[in-house]
Amino acid sequence: AQTVTQSQPEMSVQEAETVTLSCTYDTSESDYYLFWYKQPPSRQMILVIRQEAYKQQNATENRFSVNFQKAAKSFSLKISDSQLGDAAMYFCAYQGGSEKLVFGKGTKLTVNP
Amino acid sequence: GEEVAQTPKHLVRGEGQKAKLYCAPIKGHSYVFWYQQVLKNEFKFLISFQNENVFDETGMPKERFSAKCLPNSPCSLEIQATKLEDSAVYFCASSQSVQGGGYTFGSGTRLTVV
C-alpha cells in the first residue's frame, strides 16, 4: 500500500520569507499524481498545487512551487513571500491507480508577523 | 453549483444513536468520495461512488457504516449505533474524473458522539 510521510509536524516562517515543507511517499506505481492541500482553521480543504508523475517539470502556482524528485520519491512544497493568510495545516497527498487520495499527517504552518 | 455542499455542519449524537450526513456534489461531477478526519488530523478514506454505483468501499467499517448516492438526491453517509470513536470531521469530495484532477472538498460535517 502507498504511504505518505510528512516529517515536520510544525513549521514556522517570518512574513515575506520562504519556507519549504517536506513530503516523501512510497509506491511501486509509475503513474500517479501528487497534491498539496491547505486546510485553514475553517477546515475547508483547498487544493494548492498538483504534479503529474510523468512530468519532469516542477509545478508552480504563483508563490507556491514544488520540488518533485521522482527517483527519491520526494515532493516538497516551497512557499515564497509568505503571507499571514498562508498559516494553515498543509497536507501532502498521493493518488495512484486506486484513485483514492492517500494523505500525510500534515504540517502545521505558522506565519509570524 | 460550484461547491460541494455538506449538511449539517455540526452534529451531536449520544452513543448508540444514528447519524446521517449529506453531501451534494458539484453538478456534472461523476465521482464522490467520503473521508473521515480524526482529531489527530489523519484522513481515512471511507468510500467512493461513480454516479450511484459504489466504486471503492475498502475503507468502510462494514458493521455500522453505510452510504448511498441516489439519482437526483444528495449522497448520504449513515452511521448506525454511533460510538465515541466515530467523533470526527467527515468530508465529502467530488471530481469530474477519477484520477489526476484533484477533488473539490466540501466544508465537512463535524460529528461529536457524547
pLDDT at B1: 57
Are A43 and B108 an interchain contact pair (Cβ–Cβ within 8 Å)? Answer: yes
Tens-binned pLDDT, residue by residue, of chain B (114 aa): 589 999 999 999 999 999 999 999 999 899 999 999 997 788 999 999 999 999 999 999 988 999 999 988 999 999 999 999 999 999 999 998 767 767 899 999 999 999
Residue pointed to by grid coordinates 467499517: B61
C-beta of residue A63 within 8 angstroms of C-beta of residue A81: yes
DSSP B15: T
Give the pLDDT score at B40: 72
- Calpha distance A10→A109 (Å, rounded): 6
The pLDDT tens digits for B4-14 are 999 999 999 99
Closest Cβ opposite residue B102 in set A35, A43, A99: A35
Can you read off the three cell numbers belonging to residue B104?
Answer: 473539490
pLDDT at A73 (0 to 100): 96
Q: Which residues of B are less than 8 Å from A52 in CB distance?
A: 100
CB atoms near residue A59 (< 10 Å): 19
Q: In this complex, which of B41, B45, B105 lies closest to A106 when CB atoms are compared? A: B41
Name which of B4, B28, B11, B29 is nearest B79 in CA terms. Answer: B11
* Nine-digit cell string for B106: 466540501
Of B33, B35, B41, the CB nearest to A105: B41
Whole-angstrom Cα distance, residue A83 to residue A105? 23
Return per-residue pLDDT of chain A as tens, 113 residues. Answer: 789 999 999 999 999 999 999 999 999 998 899 999 999 999 999 999 999 999 889 999 999 999 999 999 999 999 999 999 999 999 999 998 777 899 999 999 999 99
Judged on CB neighbours under 10 Å (0-12, 13-18, 19+), A24 is middle
Does A45 lie at the interface with B, CB-CB under 8 angstroms?
yes
Distance from CA of B43 to the nearest CA of A (A): 6
Residues 72-111 of chain A with CB under 8 A from chain B are 89, 91, 95, 97-103, 105-106
Distance from CA of A45 to the nearest CA of B (A): 6
Q: Which of residues 37-96 of B touch A (CB under 8 A)?
A: 40-43, 45, 48, 55-56, 59, 89, 91, 93
Nearest Cα neighbor of B34 from B69, B63, B2, B62 is B69
